[in-house]
Amino acid sequence: MQHKYPYLIVEGNIGAGKTSLSKKLAAEFDCRLMLEQFEDNSFLPKFYNDSRRFAFPLELSFLAARFTQLKDIITNQSEIFSNPSIISDYSFFKNLVFARVTLEDDEFQLFYKLYEIIQPQLPRPDLIVYIHRPVGQLIANISKRGRSYEQDIRPSYLEKIEAGYFEFFKQMPKQKVVVIDAKNLDFVNDADDYERLKDVLFTTEFAEGISRPVI
């Protein structure tokens, strides 16, 4: 089986398992792994404590950090030639998904203008894999991993994030997006689940737009 996507993104809601799947795929196919550096963001715990006050600085800081990381890695030609395929656990457009939920309308309009200025400098992914899980599973996963600042995340917030992703997917008809219903999948601990998922991702010829393969 061959990994055929030079730039593959694993996306999903908070607690969906994006990083776990990205790590497994990158290790198996010897790809460059690009993980979001959210733990270094000092605004994140502040946001969960006082979302109205810290939403705008949080989203701006993520916008800057994600752009810098993507730009540094993707434009480093010597590294790309030595290991050309990249698997990432985040997309740049997730900035808009979260900002649309957390910001007031006037703040979002300013944020969107900044996004539009810098986004064209980045390449479009060859494939986006979106891991869908029910909100109850997301809450359980969030609780299990034990990040203190995440423990008060409400189901309604996760529902808005999920809706936001699909709203943006609809606005990208030329982008290949594969939605994986992972309600009954454990691709971290169940080897059969992982193999079935991998087989679908790398043997199926996906069309542009949203695909929902059965695993």
Collapsed DSSP state (helix, strand, coil) of residue 195: helix
Is residue 198's pLDDT more than 60? yes
The whole-angstrom distance between residue 26's C-alpha and the CA centroid of its chain comes to 15
pLDDT: which is higher, 96 or 70: 96
2 falls within a domain:
no
1 falls within a domain:
no
- Tokens standing for 128? 């986006």
pLDDT digits (tens, 9 = 90+) for 32-61: 899 998 777 889 989 989 999 999 999 999
Average pLDDT of the residues of the chain: 92
For 10-39, what is the mean pLDDT? 94
Collapsed DSSP state (helix, strand, coil) of residue 193: helix
CATH number at residue 207: 3.40.50.300
**Which residue is catalytic, options 89, 186, 190, 199?**
89
Is residue 212's pLDDT more than 80? yes
Phi, psi of 171 (to 5 degrees): -85, 0
pLDDT (0 to 100) of residue 76? 67
141 falls within a domain:
yes
156 falls within a domain:
yes
For 195-212, what is the mean pLDDT? 96
171 falls within a domain:
yes
For 26, half-sphere exposure in the C-beta direction (CA atoms, 13 angstrom radius) is 22
Q: How buried is residue 135: exposed, middle or buried, by Cβ count under 10 Å (0-12/13-18/19+)?
A: middle
170 falls within a domain:
yes
204 falls within a domain:
yes
Q: How many domains does the chain have?
A: 1
pLDDT (0 to 100) of residue 81? 45
61 falls within a domain:
yes
pLDDT digits (tens, 9 = 90+) for 118-149: 999 898 999 999 999 999 999 999 999 888 88
pLDDT (0 to 100) of residue 94? 97
- Tokens standing for 116? 């539009």
Name, in order, each residue with C-beta under 8 angstroms of 104's C-beta and a sequence gap of 6 or more: none
For residue 130, the enclosing domain spans 7-211
Active site residue 50: no
